[in-house]
Amino acid sequence: MSILHKLVLASGSPRRIELLQQAGIEPDRVLPADVDETPLRAEHPRSLVKRLSKEKAEKALASLSTEDDYAPGFVLAADTVVAVGRRILPKAETLDDASNCLGLLSGRSHRVYSGICLITPGGKLRQRLVETRVRFKRLPREEIAAYVASGEWRGKAGGYAVQGLAGSFVVKLVGSYTNVVGLPLYETVALLNGEGFKVHANWMSARP
């Protein structure tokens, strides 16, 4: 693979890796970029995901530039949040986090925002913002308790994983489903292709 076609994913999320693989993209390197994800005062969810995806991409690029064998490639980063209005829900880490998130989402609509940031081999920075609207059914206490007991919520924005048991909570979804999983594939592939990373080049070799 040529230097221009190397791809570094600035995320250790198994979901994002799996989604890229679903589109026939195998990152040459996975380089998680840890940044402070605390929202700024009065920061809108849209602004937050754009800022954090940019910070992650830039941090990964800075880490690469200190390596002796570093060669310019594409650096891809993303950030996803779940929000009710302007209220940004946490990535659930405790039982209380998960229960509180699900209680808030029960019977109402929320939005999932993702920011995608791509830094090209030439140093150009490109961003996309994706928004999906999701409505949950009303969740009885016993159903919330059963889901919390499953553990699927751990580390998930908004306290749920739509690709798992929580898929049964969804009454309506408008927009990108893969965005809710963790990486909007249409926009990501379009961004990569538009900047010269030939996503489709590997599809022929993937034939059974």
Please list the active-site residues.
79
C-alpha angle with apex 24: 169 to 113, nearest 5 degrees? 40
Nearest-5° Cα angle at 194, 192 to 196: 70
Q: Round the CA-based radius of gyration of the chain to a whole number and report it.
A: 18
DSSP assignment letter at 40: P
Beta bridge partners of 173: 134
Q: What angle do CA 187, 185, 153 make, to 5 degrees?
A: 125
Query: Helix, strand or coil for residue 41?
Result: coil
